[in-house]
Amino acid sequence: MATNTVSLKLLIDTKGHKVLFAEAGKDFVDFVFTLLALPVGTVIRLLSKDNMVSSLGKLYDSLDTS
C-alpha cells in the first residue's frame, strides 16, 4: 500500500493573521493548480452573490446573459 504525503511549510504572522511565506512540494502545487483550472464561471455560479469575494459578483453580472 502506497502512502502519499504532502509537504507544506508556512511562515505565519500571528498578530496580522497573514501568511508571510509558503514553501510547498510539487504534489501540493500540482493539486492547487488543478483546483485553479476549474472553470471560473462554474465556481462563481456555485457561490451566492452575497458571499463572493471582492467584485466577482459584479463581474459575473456583467457577463451573465440569462
> Can you tell me which residue has the cell 471560473?
40
Number of domains the chain contains: 1
Say if residues 9 and 20 touch (Cβ distance below 8 Å): no
Residue 12, SS3?
Answer: strand
- Say which amino acid occupies 25: G
Residue 41 domain-assigned? yes
Helix (H) or strand (E) holding 59: helix 56-63
For residue 1, is pLDDT > 80? no
Residue 45 domain-assigned? yes
Residue 3 domain-assigned? no
For 43, the domain range is 8-63
Q: Which residues pair with 13 in a beta bridge?
A: 18
The per-residue pLDDT for range 24-57, each reduced to its tens digit, is 988 888 888 887 777 766 766 666 655 555 666 6
Residue 40 domain-assigned? yes
Q: How far apart are CA 26 and CA 24, in angstroms?
A: 7
